[in-house]
Amino acid sequence: MSTLSIPQITQAVRSGERSAAEVLAASIAQIEATDERINAFTGTRFEAARALAAQVDAKRARGEALGPLAGVPFAVKNLFDIAGEVTLAGSKVNRTNPPAHEDAVLVQRLLAADAVLVGSLNMDEYAYGFTTENTHYGPSHNPHKLGHTAGGSSGGSGAAVAAGQVPLALGSDTNGSIRVPSSFCGVWGLKPTFGRLSRRGSYPFVASIDHLGPFASDLSGLALSYDALQGHDALDPGCFATAVQAVTPSLGQGVQGLRVGLLGGYFVEHASAAAREVVAQAAAALGASATVEWPDAEQARAAAFITSASEGGALHLQRLRAHAADFEPLSVDRFISGALQPAAWYVRAQRFRRVYRDKVHALFRDWDVLIAPATPVAAPALGSEWIDINGQRFPCRPSIGLLTQPISFAGCPVVAAPMWPSGTEGLPIGVQLIAAPWREDLALRAGWALEQAGAAFLKPAPLAPSPSGGGLGWGQGGGTQTRQQQRKE
C-alpha cells in the first residue's frame, strides 16, 4: 500500500484528488482492522469525525480556504478534554467524573486547522509510567512486535501512528512520555520547550514538568502540527510563549550552519549497543563528531523522580484516601510514597533545578543541536521486570526513562526521530535531537535533515494491510477490529 505524508494528505484534500471523507474512511478502516491487536484506542467518535470531514469538504466546495491540516485524521491521549466525554486520564477513578464541557485548547487548535478528531488513546494511569501496561484498559501493543510495549505514558499515541491508524496524535511528556513511545514505536515526536504550548483542558501529572506535544508519521507533518498548536493562552498561567514562531518555512535549511554535537558520558554509559548505533547513524547524517558532556544528568534524574513523586502524590492524595483500591497496581505505591515524601526533599530538588538549568542552557552558547539516544534499549516485552544495559541489570519500568528524564528537567525542546538499528529483531530506537529553550526550529531542522538523508523514517508495521485502505493510508497495518466504546472491566 502506498503511503501519504501529512502534507500530501492536505494537498490531496485541497486539490480535490481526495476528499476529507475518503481520507477519514481509510483511517477508520485501519482502526477497525488493527485495534483489537494494538489496543491504542480507548474511545472512538466516528460519527462526529464524519461530520467534521463533511464540513471540510463543504468548505472546499464553497471555495473557502482550508486550514493547514485539512482532512488529517488525529487522535488524542485520553488526558485531553473532548467536549461531552469524560476525561479518563487512563484511570478507573475518573469514570464517574462529569463530561468535559469543551475541548482542550490544543484539540481546539487542531480542529481550527481543519484536522479531524477520531478518538482518544490509551495511556498509563494518570501518566505515571513508561509502558502503557494499563490494568483498567489493557496494555497497548507495539505494532512492530505485538508482545512488546509501545512505551508510555503516551503509548496509545505512539502505537496509533505506527500502526497507520492516524498520521497525527497528541500526547504528553513529563519524564519522557512522548519520546519513549516515539522511540519504541518508530514514529516522530516533539516535546516542545516547557511552557511553549497551552495545557488548558488536559489532566495534569506534574505541573512543574508537564509538556504537551504531537506525534506524527513524518517530520514535515510534525512541524505543521506544531505550528498549528502554537499560540499564547492567557487563561493558562503555565503557557509562557507570547507569539507563534512558525517552523515549517525553515525546514529546508537542514543543518547548514548548525553546530551539532553528541552527548557523551552518562548518555553513552546508559545506552545499549543498538542505541549507540542509531546515534552514530544520526551523527554521520548530520556531520557531527564532537562529544559534549551534559552536566549533572544523574542528579537531574533523581531530582525529576522526587519532583514527580511529590507533585503526583499531592495531586491525588484525596483520591488515594478514598479510592486506593481502584488505582493502577503498578503505580499506586509510587503515588502513596510520593505523598509521604519529606517536603525538604522537594525543596532541595527545586533549588538544584535552578542551578541545573543554568548549566544546561550554557551548553547552547557553543552548540545548536545535541544528539542522544531516546531510550537505552529497544522496546522490552510486555511484563518485563528487568532490562540489560551493557551487562548491567536495571529495573525495567523506571529505567526506560534514563535518557529522557534529565532533558525534561531542563525544559529543553526535543525532536524524537525514528531510527532502525541492527540486532533488535526489527524494533526501532529513536534519537533525541535537543535544542536550547524556544528553539524548536533547530531541532526540527535537524530532524528534517535526517529524514532527507534516509536515516530517520516511519517503517510500516508488519501487519496485514487494511482491506479498504485504497492507497490512502500513511502506513501499513492490519488485524481485526476495534472497540467502538471505552473498554469496560
In 297-437, the DSSP E strands lie at 369-373, 386-389, 392-395, 414-419, 429-435
Task: Determine contact, residues 43/31, Cβ cutoff 8 Å.
Answer: no
Residues marked active site are found at 77, 153, 177
How many other CB atoms are there within 10 angstroms of residue 465's CB atom?
15
Cis before 384 (ω within 30): no
Task: Determine contact, residues 281/419, Cβ cutoff 8 Å.
Answer: yes
Strand partners, 392: 389
User: Of 270, 295, 264, whose CA–CA distance to 406 is shortest?
Assistant: 295
How many other CB atoms are there within 10 angstroms of residue 485's CB atom?
8
Task: Determine contact, residues 140/347, Cβ cutoff 8 Å.
Answer: no
User: Of 205, 208, 219, 213, whose CA–CA distance to 179 is shortest?
Assistant: 213
Instruction: Quote the CA–CA distance of 331 and 204 in Å, as a whole number.
Output: 16
CB neighbours of 488 closer than 8 A, spacing ≥ 6? none
Strand partners, 414: 191, 434
